[in-house]
Amino acid sequence: MHLSRPPRLRHLRPFVERLWVVRGAPGHGTELVLPSGRMQLLVNLAGGGLGDFDLSGAPLSRTGALALQGPTTAPRMLDTRQQAAVCGVSFRPGGAAFLVGAAEELTGLVVDLAPFWPGCSGRLLDGLCGTTEPHRLLDRLERLLADRLGGAVPDAAFARAAGMLARGHRVADVRAALDLSAHGLRRLFRARAGVTPKRFARIERFRRLVRRLPRRGSWAALALDAGYVDQAHMIREFRVFAGTSPARYRAVAPDMPTHYRPPAR
C-alpha cells in the first residue's frame, strides 16, 4: 500500500510538497531510487534503521529510525526489507530550511534527524507508530511538522528562481529576473537547494522527462518536449541520473516513477 498527498495545512504548503506512507515491502530485494533534488524526512515505523547503497552495492549511509535525506543528485539503491512500514515528508526545494538552515552540507547524505530536531525522537515515533490508518498517520505527521515550523517564512526570491528553472527557463533568464550576479544565484541555490542552479535545472529537466516517459512516440520528440537539445543529449543525461537508458527504464513501467527495480542486464 502506498499513499501520497500534499499537505492539508495551508501554512505548510510553501515548504512541503508531499507526505507519504508505504506499508508492505515489495517482493524484490533492492530498488533503485532516482534523484529528486529534494530533501526528505524519513521515518521507519517498524523501528529499525535506514540505509542505502550506491549502484555498485557499496553502503552510503546507515541511520536510526528517524532520518533526514539531503538533496539527491544521483541514483541510489534501497534495501526494500527496510520499507515494510515507512512514512515521510518530501520538502519543496529549499523548504527544509526551517529544519536544517543551509542545505549544502547535506547534499547526497542521509543522516540522523535528532541533531536537527532536538527532542523529537520519542515524541515523533510515539505519535506515529501507534497509528495504523494511513490518512490519520499523515495528518498527525503534518501537525508535528506544523508545530516545528513555527513562524518560518519561505524565501520568496528562491521560490521564484526554483519555479522558473523547474519550468525550463535558462539560468541566465533567472539571474536577470532576480537581478542577481552569477555568484549571487549560485550562493542562493547552494544554501537553499544544496546544489548549483545549473545542477538543479538539469535534475528538474530529468524529472520532466521521467513524467513524460509513459507516453508513446518518437524518442527525438520526447527529448525536445522535455527540454533536451536532441535524443543523444537526453540519453546521456538519463544515464547520469538513472544509471540506465530511457528505453530500459520505460520497459519496467514502475508504479512509482522515482522507484523501480532495474531490469536484468
Q: Are strands 59-63 and 50-53 parallel, antiparallel or unpaired?
A: antiparallel
Residues 61, 205: Cα–Cα separation, whole Å: 27
pLDDT at 212: 85
pLDDT at 78: 82
Residues 162, 160: Cα–Cα separation, whole Å: 6
Q: Domain boundary at 149, 177, 193, which?
A: 149
Say if residue 130 is in the same domain as residue 99.
Answer: yes
Say if residue 143 is in the same domain as residue 160.
Answer: no
Tens-digit pLDDT profile for residues 172-222 = 999 999 999 999 999 999 999 999 999 999 999 999 998 888 777 789 999
Residues 67/45, Cβ–Cβ less than 8 Å: no
Residues 10, 90: Cα–Cα separation, whole Å: 16
Residues 23, 130: Cα–Cα separation, whole Å: 14
Q: Is residue 265 part of a domain?
A: no
* CATH number of domain containing 119: 2.60.120
pLDDT at 236: 96
Q: Is the pLDDT of residue 168 over 70?
A: yes
| Stretch 67-87: mean pLDDT | 85
Q: Is residue 73 part of a domain?
A: yes
| Stretch 76-88: mean pLDDT | 81
Say if residue 102 is in the same domain as residue 175.
Answer: no
Say if residue 8 is in the same domain as residue 102.
Answer: yes
* CATH number of domain containing 254: 1.10.10.60
Tens-digit pLDDT profile for residues 62-76 = 899 899 999 999 988
Find all residues with CB under 8 Å of 43, minimum gap 6, and list them: 65, 66, 67, 86, 87, 88, 124, 125, 128, 141
Q: Which pLDDT band, with edges at 50, 70 and 90, does 26 fall under?
A: low
Say if residue 245 is in the same domain as residue 189.
Answer: yes
The boundaries of the domain holding residue 169 are 156-260
Say if residue 11 is in the same domain as residue 85.
Answer: yes
pTM, two decimals, is: 0.90
Name the residue with higher pLDDT: 265 or 252: 252
Q: Is residue 254 part of a domain?
A: yes
Q: Which pLDDT band, with edges at 50, 70 and 90, does 1 fall under?
A: low
Residues 38, 214: Cα–Cα separation, whole Å: 23
Say if residue 220 is in the same domain as residue 254.
Answer: yes
Tens-digit pLDDT profile for residues 93-149 = 999 999 998 889 999 999 999 999 888 777 777 778 777 788 999 999 999 999 999
Q: Domain boundary at 124, 149, 174, which?
A: 149
Neighbours of 221 (CB within 10 A): 12
| Stretch 73-84: mean pLDDT | 80
Domain count, the chain: 2
- Mean pLDDT of all residues belonging to the chain: 88
pLDDT at 178: 96
**Which of 256, 148, 242, 231 has the alpha carbon at shortest distance from 203?**
242
pLDDT at 119: 80
